[in-house]
Structure 1
Amino acid sequence: MSSAPTLIFVHGAWHGPACWSNVTSQLQQQGYRCLAPQLEFCGTQEPVQSLAGSIGQVQDLIAAETTQGNNVVLVNHSFGGCVGSSSVKGFTQKDPSKLGPGSGKVVGIVQICAFTPASKTALYDIINLDTPFHHSGPDGWELIDNGEPIDLFYHDISPEDAQQWKGRLLKHSSASFKDRESVYAGWADVPEMMVAAARDAGADFTTKSLDASHSPFLSKPNDTVGFILEALGDFDQKSSRS
């Protein structure tokens, strides 16, 4: 059996890495190296103007791990799917242009309620602009102005916990939702766990449903861990055959 890959967790819009803590703690106990960066598309003092910096943050982590010979799996949530998928460019068996001799590689992507965009496709090209729960504000931040965050993200956890997580939401850059140039369909380069359009485009997909809110890592962390472990087993089998 091959050595365990490093897991890089990419959070979604308005969130930070703490949202993964119930999942990463379990996986670390099972021997997995887990990295969960705070990405600059939210939480900065001023809104960033593209996704390039956030993608670069993840690519720096991928490069550091693969240079040491470690394989990597990206675990992306929601908007993090745009960033995580874009970050694998050059680090896969299909496109090893950023890998050196003896390097590890990105062997898979796990999408959890995550967007799977085509290259050069912004989030605003994907969502239904007639009924979004968020809009661009005049100061460059994306505002949740058409919905209650607890109902949108946390409706199946306790009211006390939901209120706590609502209070931890961060400001999110509007420009990151509109950036097309930085987005790359990296899901086509490695096996991925999200679907019809991407599968038709040649992606290797396995899907699984879970009766949970948009934040299953909070409401059903054990099931989320099980889903990730199932994906890792699938990636390991496919990697050993290639």
Structure 2
Amino acid sequence: MKTGLLLLLITCLLQTISQAQSKTYLLIHGGWHGAWCWKKVVPLLEAKGNRVLAIDLPGHGDDKTPMATVTLDDYVQKIVSVVNTQTGPVILVGHSMAGIAIAQAAEVLGKEKVAKLVFLDAFMPKNGESVFALAGKAGEQNKAAGKPESGSSLTESLILSDDKKTSVIKPDRVGQLFYHDCSADDVSFAKAHLCPQSMACLGTPVNVTNARYGAVSKVYILCTQAKDLDKSSLAQNVPVQKLYTLASSHSPFFSMPEKLVAILAEL
């Protein structure tokens, strides 16, 4: 009887320790993408005992919200609603454009619900900055530093809709911009799933404060071989707890998911 009770107590203790060590990650895709881009990352993070959620932002993936109507606030509301369904704080991981969305979501949620903000080769804003503003800022800083342009810029690779409310990436430039170190299968998969992107979401500035957004711990993962934009300066735009680097394209979730997960699991 005593032995059985002891085993039960040990089992409960181990379960408690395991639960304490596990983390909840919410993975937020970048522009033109969807939750599908995390298909390699999710099982690797889950295998380490974590709870992992990858969602489609409004208008992306399986979410059928008309893209021309989607705003940054729509993105933020989706993120906030998902986080608020979780028990305890959540690690928000935002890729590329989603850096803006997770920053604004952190302003709403606060450090009580956001354990950490992870900017994956992302736009990490100060108050009043948008994706467009940060892209211009990085471009000017790169030029001033004498850094050569990596080829066709992202803006040169866009095809705008007639009403200018959405855009798509020119098919012949997708691979070079986002996936130059990815397998042919991954590139084909991505091309088949990329969707239009709301331009309003890229042009809307964040409204954040030091008391809320500023109080949330942040890390930056810089993809040093990215071809869309050298974001070295953006990685220093806001103080971060730690800066990691990956010698990858803009899409390490495809080209080196194990290395990306090793960083995420360390947080």
TM-score normalised to structure 1 length: 0.79
Q: Would the aligned equivalents of 2:94 and 2:102 in 1 still touch at CA under 8 Å?
A: yes
43, 51, 61: which one pairs with 2:72? 51
- Bigger Cα displacement from structure 2, 14-23 vs 129-138: 129-138
- Secondary structure at the residue paired with 1:8? strand
Would the alpha carbon gap of residues 3 and 50 (structure 1) be closer, same or farther in structure 2, given more than 3 Å must change?
same
| Partner residue in 2 for 1:208 | 244
Question: Which ranges in structure 1 are unaligned for 5 or more consecutive residues?
Answer: 97-104, 233-242
More strand by share: 2
- Secondary structure at the residue paired with 1:35? strand
| Partner residue in 1 for 2:96 | 78
1:164, distance to aligned residue in structure 2 (A): 2.0
Would the alpha carbon gap of residues 91 and 115 (structure 1) be closer, same or farther in structure 2, given more than 3 Å must change?
same
Q: Would the aligned equivalents of 2:32 and 2:168 in 1 still touch at CA under 8 Å?
A: no
- Secondary structure at the residue paired with 2:85? helix
Q: Which residue type is aligned with residue 74 of structure 2?
A: G
- Bigger Cα displacement from structure 2, 158-167 vs 132-141: 132-141
Mapping for residues 14-33 of structure 1, pairs under 5 Å: 14-33=32-51
1:92, distance to aligned residue in structure 2 (A): 2.8
115, 125, 133: which one pairs with 1:117? 125
1:12, distance to aligned residue in structure 2 (A): 0.2
| Greater C-alpha Rg | 2
In 2: Cα distance, 1:220 partner to 1:46 partner: 30
| Partner residue in 2 for 1:169 | 194
In 2: Cα distance, 1:90 partner to 1:54 partner: 12
Would the alpha carbon gap of residues 41 and 123 (structure 1) be closer, same or farther in structure 2, given more than 3 Å must change?
farther
Q: Would the aligned equivalents of 1:55 and 1:84 in 2 still touch at CA under 8 Å?
A: yes
In 2: Cα distance, 1:82 partner to 1:41 partner: 17
The number of aligned residues is 213
Q: Would the aligned equivalents of 1:7 and 1:35 in 2 still touch at CA under 8 Å?
A: yes
1:73, distance to aligned residue in structure 2 (A): 0.4
RMSD: 2.3
Q: Which residue type is aligned with residue 196 of structure 1?
A: Q
Q: Would the aligned equivalents of 2:24 and 2:91 in 1 still touch at CA under 8 Å?
A: yes
| Partner residue in 2 for 1:160 | 185
Q: Which residue type is aligned with residue 156 of structure 1?
A: D
Q: Would the aligned equivalents of 1:50 and 1:176 in 2 still touch at CA under 8 Å?
A: yes
| Partner residue in 2 for 1:240 | none
Q: Would the aligned equivalents of 1:28 and 1:34 in 2 still touch at CA under 8 Å?
A: yes
| Partner residue in 2 for 1:235 | none
TM-score normalised to structure 2 length: 0.72
